[in-house]
Structure 1
Amino acid sequence: MAQITAALVEHFGEPPHAARIPEPEPRPGREVVEVLAVGLHHITRGIASGRHYASPKELPFVPGVDGVVRRADGTLAYVGGTHNNTLAERILIDPRDTLPLPVGADPATVAASVNPALSSWVALHARTPLRPGMSVLVLGATGASGALAVPVARHLGAGRVIVAGRNRTRLDELLATGADAAIALTDDPDATAARFAAEAADVDVVLDYLWGAPTELAMRAIVTARRDRERPIDWVHIGSVAGPDIALDGALLRASALRVSGSGLGSVDLGAVDLPGLIAGVASGAFAIRPRPVPLADIAEAWTHQDAPGERTVVIP
């Protein structure tokens, strides 16, 4: 049987290694495609750790949640969503899950950018549809996904975008490239709460990549300072960088129009989201991350690399 090279996770929590596995074979309703580029996303590592709710039950397995592929007719496409085996030279796909790439699109840039941009794109389409002129707070804006949420929100019509995070240098960069105000998360909770109250009290949507203690502080400060408590505020939980849990005072829900929801795998119907629009935006550079290409043979070393701000490691099989 013919074989291909793939990344293989044999133990949860350990980096995968390059290995030879049987080449996939086409079957009715499925086709074999050549993989051109795969981003090493946080969710990819999370699933491979065995602690993510989408982690497989059995080992070994090939990781990878999305990627750019070349189909049999030579066209390039993005695949994602239902795939968890893209870190290989060739994979078996359902053609209905492909999104064609615009002519001239760079596969590495698309592989680096779509997954980080997808979080805010989906949240603002499916969890709390953004209307023109609404204001958005990005809590955890200094990470890759949070930073991309700024141009995504602008593209979808946000009138004001506020960013919050710990990296002051990154916050300044976001102010220079589209954000209207910045809130630094400091070790002084009173000062930080005062900044949330001053800058975000009347925000319409919160895209929350942090959760944990920062969310508790920000939520209380914003709701308490809100001038019109009956005006809805949609708080969308996307990531748990600062912790998996929060202590939510029920009084905040009773005394305001605070609506808390989540956005992630399994919470939305991607068929109702304008994914071609996302692909077009990434391909045009409107919201894109700089790729850092590495060969599949170096997957073990690439797995532990810490990407710089605005960068994403992309595996090239």
Structure 2
Amino acid sequence: MSIHAGVVKVWGNTPVYDSIDLPAPSEDQIRVKVLAAGVHTLVRSRAAGKHFTVAGKNPPHIPGTDGVGIIPETNQKVYFNALLSPTGSLAQEINLGKHDVFPLPEGADPDTIAVLVNPAMSSWMALTARAGVQPGSSVKVAIVGATGVSGQTAVQISKAFGASEIVTIGKPGPKLEKTKQLGATALIPLAEDLTKTDFSAAADVDVVLDYLWGDVSSAAFAGIINARKNKNQRLNWVDIGAVAGDTQPIPASFLRKANVALLGCGPGSWTFSELYGQLPAMLEALVKGDVKTDFAVKRLEDVESWWNEKGGARPLVRI
């Protein structure tokens, strides 16, 4: 059958609104009518051909890694993950593996779920699958890059986990201040000269969720390790993103003088079985914790006009 979708025809080019042929679902698949999908950082990176999950693949590419939809036969609303799907979620309909689909909890807002699961997934999987933390733990968390959508969601996820301390690190201003309302117990504003930033408020944390890497992470790593009183206390440093750069120098001495583990979080560092085992609890936590974020509603048919907009709230595509 023919449907409409946003289609990237050359890596890095703006998607165009076009028709595609969607085959009938196989015995292992289910057809879902897409209601809403978030345009996450991951979605844009894949559409540019720069993410490792599209390495070796060629366009055409339909962007979108997840969303909320409805199963026509049952009228049931579901969250779905499309990372293993042949097509992305910026489409009217999608064929998904039956294990890629999860019922929405009672009281869930479809738009909020579509926007939030991807950024929530990053911190949830970093805490559970990578740092070995379970909900209800009184873990102490620091978040490097707390002013973005994923960082602010990480504050709320950490709070839902029961974290006893949540230290947010980012550029000074209203977005960093807002993290207090979301659950942060201490704020570390980055100085213009990063090496002059006082990281002592995060000296005692158990886990660092790092969305930035690069020079910011390098300064934070040195600042936190140097301020740590008990250097034998385990510190799990989990890299989730690289907004500030793909590389950073880490002196070998830091890895010898402190009990620190460098970890990454993304598909490959955890399995989809692990992710799918966590998703029902994650969805429930988003609803019960009343986790929120700002988003800007966009139309799929207008994708060419809004795709390259800079700044503002994360786009939420209603289909």
Q: TM-score, normalised by structure 2?
A: 0.93
Query: Which of 238, 242, 245 is matched with 1:243 structurally?
Result: 245
Alignment of structure 1 residues 279-294 onto 2, 5 Å: 279-284=283-288, 286-294=290-298
Distance in 2 (CA, whole Å) between partners of 1:285 and 1:303 is: 31
Equivalent residue for 1:225?
227
Equivalent residue for 2:124?
121
The question of whether the paired residues in 1 share the 8 Å contact of 2:195 and 2:219 is answered with no
Unaligned 5+ segments in structure 1 are none
Distance in 1 (CA, whole Å) between partners of 2:289 and 2:7 is: 32
Equivalent residue for 2:100?
97
Alignment of structure 1 residues 255-274 onto 2, 5 Å: 255-272=257-274, 273-274=277-278
Per mean C-alpha deviation after superposition, the further-off stretch among 176-185 and 4-13 is 176-185
Per mean C-alpha deviation after superposition, the further-off stretch among 203-212 and 96-105 is 96-105
Equivalent residue for 2:179?
174
Equivalent residue for 1:215?
217
Q: In structure 1, the residue corresponding to 2:263 is in which secondary structure?
A: strand
Equivalent residue for 2:279?
275
Following TM superposition, by how much is the alpha carbon of 1:167 offset from its aligned partner in structure 2, in angstroms?
4.1
Equivalent residue for 2:308?
304
Any idea what the Cα deviations from partners look like across 1:56-84, whole Å, max 9, x if unmatched? 51111211111111112110111114235
Q: In structure 2, the residue corresponding to 1:12 is in which secondary structure?
A: coil
Distance in 2 (CA, whole Å) between partners of 1:294 and 1:283 is: 23
> Structure 1 residues 42, 60: CA separation in 2 closer, same or farther (over 3 Å shift)?
same
Following TM superposition, by how much is the alpha carbon of 1:214 offset from its aligned partner in structure 2, in angstroms?
0.9
The question of whether the paired residues in 1 share the 8 Å contact of 2:160 and 2:289 is answered with no
Equivalent residue for 1:9?
8
Following TM superposition, by how much is the alpha carbon of 1:312 offset from its aligned partner in structure 2, in angstroms?
2.3
> Structure 1 residues 18, 111: CA separation in 2 closer, same or farther (over 3 Å shift)?
same
Alignment identity in percent?
35
Count of residues paired in the alignment: 311
Equivalent residue for 1:82?
84
Distance in 2 (CA, whole Å) between partners of 1:243 and 1:64 is: 24
Query: Which of 202, 222, 233 is matched with 2:204 structurally?
Result: 202
Distance in 2 (CA, whole Å) between partners of 1:306 and 1:73 is: 39
Following TM superposition, by how much is the alpha carbon of 1:307 offset from its aligned partner in structure 2, in angstroms?
4.8
Letter in 1 for 2:13: E
> Structure 1 residues 86, 225: CA separation in 2 closer, same or farther (over 3 Å shift)?
same
Any idea what the Cα deviations from partners look like across 1:142-173, whole Å, max 9, x if unmatched? 00000111110111121000000014211111
Distance in 2 (CA, whole Å) between partners of 1:208 and 1:279 is: 23
Distance in 2 (CA, whole Å) between partners of 1:126 and 1:259 is: 14
- Is 1:136–2:141 an aligned residue pair? yes
Following TM superposition, by how much is the alpha carbon of 1:95 offset from its aligned partner in structure 2, in angstroms?
1.3
Q: TM-score, normalised by structure 1?
A: 0.93
- How large is the RMSD of aligned CA atoms in angstroms? 1.6
Equivalent residue for 1:151?
156
- Is 1:66–2:66 an aligned residue pair? yes
Any idea what the Cα deviations from partners look like across 1:77-121, whole Å, max 9, x if unmatched? 111142351111111111111110023422211111111111001
The question of whether the paired residues in 2 share the 8 Å contact of 1:117 and 1:287 is answered with no
